[in-house]
Amino acid sequence: MHTGQLIFAQLMDFLPLPEFRRCVARYQGEYKVRGFSCLDQFLCLAFAQLTYRESLRDIETCLRAMHSKLYHLGIRGRIARSTLADANETRDWRIAGDFAQALISQARALYCDEPFAVELTQTVYAFDATTTDLCLALFPWARFRRTRAAVKLPTLLDLRGPIPTVVVITDGKAADVTLLDALVVEPGAFYILDRGYTDFARLFRLTEALAFFVIRGKRGLAYVRRASRPVDKTTGLRSDQPIVLCGPKTGTLYPVPLRRITYVDPETERRFVFLTNNFTLPALQIAHLYQCRWQVELFFQWLKQHLRIKAFYGTSLNAVKTQVWIAISVYVLVAILKKRLGLPQSLYTILQVLSVTLFEKMPIYQALAQLGDPSAEGETCNQLSLFDR
């Protein structure tokens, strides 16, 4: 990597630009476009994510202040608030969405051998959704309550990384459990779900697709116990039982046996009941698998803290989706940077350094290597941190 490049340009060198051009061509993103290309739009919004810009005017002011360096950033078009607003409103959000999926594929290949809390060869996913409140007057298409608007982001997270693999952007009224229908089920993979996704017809679809699930059981579930397996109660386990559902509806919706595991957390003494269709893993391993689901909650909190997905640069559905997908692209791009350069720092620390050094001319590895011992971060930083060792 050339040491005379700006750090922003060095970071963008990790982008697979041929794939980006294919995405643009697929949706005719530059049809009748003169000066401000789709790549210019992507780079401007990526800059906004990395430097925490508040608005389109903020983006315009900062980039125009660095007018002499824009060419070296890779931005060829003239920066104007109205031009960027028009691009966000009219250019198909699927360009950013498909390109983010290309980056996700790269990142998953890099992180496939990452150590995991549970020793498994199969892929483990966590599925959940987060909601961002919006102003109903500005976002009428996202009606959530009578006086509120919201956008919901159901996400399937590969827990080795963690890397988001599926992100769906809907209005706030969409029922979480129906979003399971959008998943393309991977045979042999584990899907970790909260009890809000209890729908036995949809869970049986996972079983028929030869995938496994782990979900918290709800109270009042009607079932018949078939047997009781021995458990070591010193580990927190209380029971491990093959069961059959016998409710008037559940027995029909899920007609095959399930496994019911009861576990008491030794630290908090909270009692948990898990349902799974996997009968081979040890019961304690199933309980630890569900504990890993918390990573998806940390992922949502991390995104909202460190990237711009709580306030939007445009009010249309297209503009919102474009911004969210570019935010996810930036997250995944920095994860790729961390892995390819072998950086020991947390993703939070890397983003903080990048935010104040984008216009520096020095090797990007040198800028990040000057941070010193990353083990001291936990003592001085009170922020959420992913990819910690």
Structure tokens at 111: 């992180």
CA-CA distance, 225 to 6, in Å (whole number)? 65
pLDDT greater than 90 at residue 187: yes
Outline where DSSP puts E strands in the chain.
124-134, 149-158, 163-167, 170-171, 190-193, 212-216, 223-225, 237-245, 258-264, 271-276
Position 380 scores a pLDDT of 40
Per-residue pLDDT band for 381 (boundaries 50, 70, 90) equals very low
CA neighbor of 352 nearest in space, from 340, 339, 362, 367: 367
pLDDT greater than 80 at residue 100: yes
Position 389 scores a pLDDT of 37
Position 209 scores a pLDDT of 94
- Reported as a single tens digit per residue, the pLDDT across 125-168 is 999 988 888 888 888 888 888 788 888 888 899 988 788 888 88
Question: Amino acid identity of 40?
Answer: D
Q: How many CB atoms lie within 10 A of CB 140?
A: 11
Q: Residues 313-340: what's their mean pLDDT?
A: 92
pLDDT greater than 50 at residue 385: no
Per-residue pLDDT band for 374 (boundaries 50, 70, 90) equals very low
134 with 319: CB under 8 angstroms?
no
DSSP code, position 146: S
CA-CA distance, 341 to 117, in Å (whole number)? 24
CA neighbor of 167 nearest in space, from 185, 149, 178, 179: 179
Torsion angle in degrees (nearest 10) through CA of 224, 230, 231, 234: 130
Per-residue pLDDT band for 379 (boundaries 50, 70, 90) equals very low
Backbone angles phi, psi at 201, to 5 degrees: -65, -40
Over its C-alpha atoms, the chain yields an Rg (Å, rounded) of 23
Position 370 scores a pLDDT of 67
CA-CA distance, 56 to 264, in Å (whole number)? 50
Name, in order, each residue with C-beta under 8 angstroms of 175's C-beta and a sequence gap of 6 or more.
none
Q: Residues 165-177: what's their mean pLDDT?
A: 84
User: DSSP letters along 250-271, please?
Assistant: HHHHS-S-EEEEEEE-TTT--E
Position 39 scores a pLDDT of 92
Cis peptide before 162 (omega within 30 of 0): yes
Q: Residues 306-312: what's their mean pLDDT?
A: 80
Query: How distant, in Å, are the alpha carbons of 40, 148, 213 from that of 33?
Result: 12, 36, 47
Outline where DSSP puts E strands in 36-168.
124-134, 149-158, 163-167
Position 163 scores a pLDDT of 87
Instruction: Average the pLDDT over each of 79-93, 165-179, 297-311, 359-373 and give the range with the smallest value.
Output: 359-373
Task: Scan for tokens 């009861």, then name that residue.
Answer: 262
Structure tokens at 312: 């939007």
Query: How distant, in Å, are the alpha carbons of 25, 104, 211, 331 from that of 344?
Result: 37, 21, 34, 17
CA neighbor of 306 nearest in space, from 12, 49, 21, 8: 49
Name, in order, each residue with C-beta under 8 angstroms of 224's C-beta and a sequence gap of 6 or more.
243, 244, 246
Position 206 scores a pLDDT of 94
